[in-house]
Amino acid sequence: MATFVLVPGGWKGSWAYEAVVPLLERAGHAVHALTLTGLRPDDDRATVAGANLDTHADDVLRLLDREGVTDATLVGHSYAGMVIAAAADRAGGRVSRLVHLDAFVPRDGESCWSAANDHFRQLFTAGAAATGYSVRPPEGGDPRRRPHPLAAFLQTIRLSGAFERVQRREFVYCAGWEDRTPFAGLRARLAADPAWRVHDLPTGHDAMREAPRAVAALLLGERAPVSAGRAVDRRPA
């Protein structure tokens, strides 16, 4: 039995994985979907203003402590690629697998801001104009989204090298929004790295919503249903 810790991307909560969780649980696995600090409906202004990338990595580590998890699969969507990388680097060997689901895979000293493209930097800047400490969600999308702590997007990550010793590391590239994705170059870099396994899905960025069965199949190590988008293994031989 695997233990999955599912971490949502910017502006989202645990509900982002609501269609994937039952599929993993039905397969007999333990699943924990997180809502990060500052993104919870009852978080006050001070909590949102004070939350950063370290805070979010600590959210993951606290869950591992609380549940006694020693062999975790961390799944991070979008911004949460930063979070699972930071958490895995500090987890003391308790993470055995990382899945970056159309997500940032940072190097030491990078931030979500520095790794993003102009499209997202403009979203961050415009979204933070009202408060200066939180970034309002882009227009449209799920009404449950909440303003995201600005410091989490700006703080640089500190990696000791332990992140790179996680036994199994995977990247899922969603190819259905190539006009805006910041991950095309990252996909090319990881596809050339034998330490990484790269999968392709022909979905937009929110693959958990568009193709939950395909996402669950990838997490379970199965062939993704063709009707939900075919996963293509691009791991170098």
Residue 231 exposed, middle or buried by CB count within 10 Å (0-12, 13-18, 19+): buried
Number of helices (H) and strands (E) in the chain: give both, helices first.
Answer: 10, 9
Total domain count, the chain: 1
- pLDDT tens, position by position, 81-96: 999 999 999 999 999 9
Q: pLDDT above 90 covers what percent of the chain?
A: 92
**Residue 11: which domain range?**
3-233
Does the structure show a pLDDT above 50 at 31? yes
Strands 148-149 and 168-174: unpaired
pLDDT at 229: 39
Element housing 99 (H / E): strand 95-101
Place 223 in a pLDDT band, splitting at 50, 70 and 90.
low
Q: For residues 203 and 225, give the distance between their C-alpha atoms in angstroms, rounded to a whole number.
A: 13
Q: Are strands 232-233 and 196-201 parallel, antiparallel or unpaired?
A: antiparallel
Is 231's pLDDT higher than 60? no
pLDDT for 119-142, tens place per residue?
A: 999 999 999 999 999 999 999 999
Can you give the CATH number for the domain in which 82 is found? 3.40.50.1820
Across all residues in the chain, what is the average pLDDT? Answer: 94
> Which pair of structure tokens corresponds to residue 216?
């669950």
pLDDT at position 24 is 98
Averaged pLDDT, 37-53: 98
- Tell me the pLDDT tens digit for each residue of 171-199: 999 999 999 999 999 999 999 999 999 99
Q: pLDDT at residue 230 above 80?
A: no
DSSP-based three-state secondary structure for 6: strand
Contact 144, 45 (CB under 8 A): no
pLDDT at residue 228 greater than cutoff 60:
no
CA distance linking residue 80 with residue 121, whole number of Å: 16
Q: Both ends of the chain: CA-CA distance in Å?
A: 28
Dist CA 62 CA 83 (whole Å): 13
Match 């979203």 to its residue by tokens: 123
pLDDT of res. 222: 82
